[in-house]
Chains A and B, each alone.
Chain A
């Protein structure tokens, strides 16, 4: 697995660039990751990212779009507006979490 440097820190990522170590993430890194995929972070974006981080701690897996809607309270439609085209993947990427499952 590759190690890259983001915001001056050495970070472990997988082949697709998703962080692989939960505790290596911080908000500076999130901002850099967001810039890389052309997402400009607003309070609405941060709210979702923080939900994903907290939810992962208790569930041990990345919340799906559906769960961000039903538990996190952000409609899927809004997720598409904030993270265009591939919200589930982009949200997980910025939050430093694995891609959500549902792909089996």
Chain B
């Protein structure tokens, strides 16, 4: 009997368990999954919760419900992995041996890594994150009570989980305060360490225009040094100061601490792997999938989904001594909420940035790429049902794992540039 051990029962770990339980014979393989708690969060929902779009119970479920029969669940904190000894030590003293290890321990916001960010004088009073259930819930109250002033939306350092989420937050905040009839009392500032609104040039321009249209000020190239909780000011490495009344920040994102303790991570605790197969660069029986690996793709559920479609085929080949045939291309597919019931959809990979076109059927759609539409917003809302009922249960979804260029337009937004230049 061979032992497969999965660390982390979130989006990626659950999909791996579901797919591999189907692909590996029960009489030959045991599958065990470890997580510290039983709360599986539908993370895209954390964006809507502060604006009253979802209730907490709609986006949290018991993770054990999504594990198929024949997968053992162990609830424990991980002390460390001993890859040379093929075993994992739990903090309660138990030892879990493995033949193959899949690390799916994700990435976590770490406000403690920026001086002053989690100061008790301001943390969850005027400084919030929204990638955690606690932060998202606390922010809901703060937005409701906000009487006006400077709302600053901030990214600490790339890479972050769901890189479009802070922009979506800015768009949704604009719409939220407009609907409340107090947009003129709220100054919205978007502060990023990047050179523009987003990472990829074409998309960055398009989204940059959308910030301008909504009178959201962009403050680029801002690398935070500390937050002064007394004056409520962010200070950058080059001594720029940004005061705020309400700060919605994306703290530094890091992989799990046990990855670092095990000597298996890079300087942010991400596991270095081959970006096409997710095989550890160092250990031949260790893989890392989802947000916790160092692949140069967005840390997002869609990436994990496409990646694991291919990984679950590859893994069976690999353990039988055959070459892995499916190479991941970095495919990501993200809805971007733009407020007032509209959204954009972007589709890209390691080498091709988001372009205009139609999705999922080339030229037909029905969803437009890199353009605002109601349908894209509906798609995003429908996705919560798809996530719980199809994705986590390993059911087929009609989106190919590898990106397609069919129906995409290569020189996308010159007309938009001219249109804006003439304003």
Contacts and interface: CB of A to CB of B under 8 A. Distances in A.
Interface stretch (A22-30, A34-42, A44-52, A65-73): A65-73
B199 A103 contact: yes
A57 interface: no
Nearest to B236: A80
Contacts of B296: 101, 104
A66 B158 contact: no
Nearest to A86: B221
A2 interface: no
A86 B223 CA distance: 9
A70, A79, A102, A103 — which one has the most chain B CB atoms within 10 A of its CB?
Answer: A103
Give the interface residue-count category, chain A: 10 to 19
A72 B41 CA distance: 38
A76 interface: yes
B315 to A, nearest CB: 24
A77 interface: yes
B83 interface: no
B158, B163, B200, B298 — which one has the most chain A CB atoms within 10 A of its CB?
Answer: B158
Interface string A60-91: 00000111001100001101100011100100
A70 B238 CA distance: 19
Interface string B147-165: 0000000000111000100
Given A77-B237, A84-B238, A85-B238, A104 B223 contact: no
B268 interface: yes
Contacts of A76: 223, 225, 237
Contact of B199 (A77, A79, A86, A104): A104
A80 B222 CA distance: 11
B211 to A, nearest CB: 18
A80 B221 CA distance: 11
Given A70-B267, A71-B267, A76-B223, A104 B158 contact: yes
B267 A102 contact: no
Nearest to B272: A59
Contacts of B297: 104
For the residues of B in contact with A, the DSSP-based class is loop
Contact of B237 (A67, A80, A89, A103): A80
A46 B268 CA distance: 26
Nearest to B239: A80
A89 B159 CA distance: 16
A51 B268 CA distance: 19
A89 B195 CA distance: 10
Contacts of A67: 267
Interface string A5-40: 000000000000000000000000000000000000
B104 to A, nearest CB: 19
A40 B308 CA distance: 49
Interface string B289-312: 000000011100000000000000
A104 B163 contact: yes
Contacts of A66: 157, 267-268
A103 B348 CA distance: 14
B262 to A, nearest CB: 18
Contacts of B159: 102, 104
A80 B223 contact: yes
A79, A86, A89, A102 — which one has the most chain B CB atoms within 10 A of its CB?
Answer: A102
Nearest to A77: B237
B267 A103 contact: no
Contacts of A89: 195
A77 B238 CA distance: 7
Interface of B: 157-159, 163, 194-195, 199-200, 221, 223, 225, 237-238, 267-268, 296-298
What are the 7 closest A-B residue pairs judged by CB atoms, nearest first? A102-B158, A103-B199, A80-B237, A80-B238, A70-B267, A77-B237, A101-B296
20 contacts: A66-B157, A66-B267, A66-B268, A67-B267, A71-B267, A76-B223, A76-B225, A76-B237, A77-B237, A79-B237, A80-B223, A85-B238, A86-B195, A86-B221, A89-B195, A101-B296, A103-B194, A104-B199, A104-B296, A104-B297
Given A66-B268, A85-B221, 8 more contacts: A77-B237, A84-B238, A85-B238, A86-B195, A89-B195, A102-B157, A102-B158, A103-B194
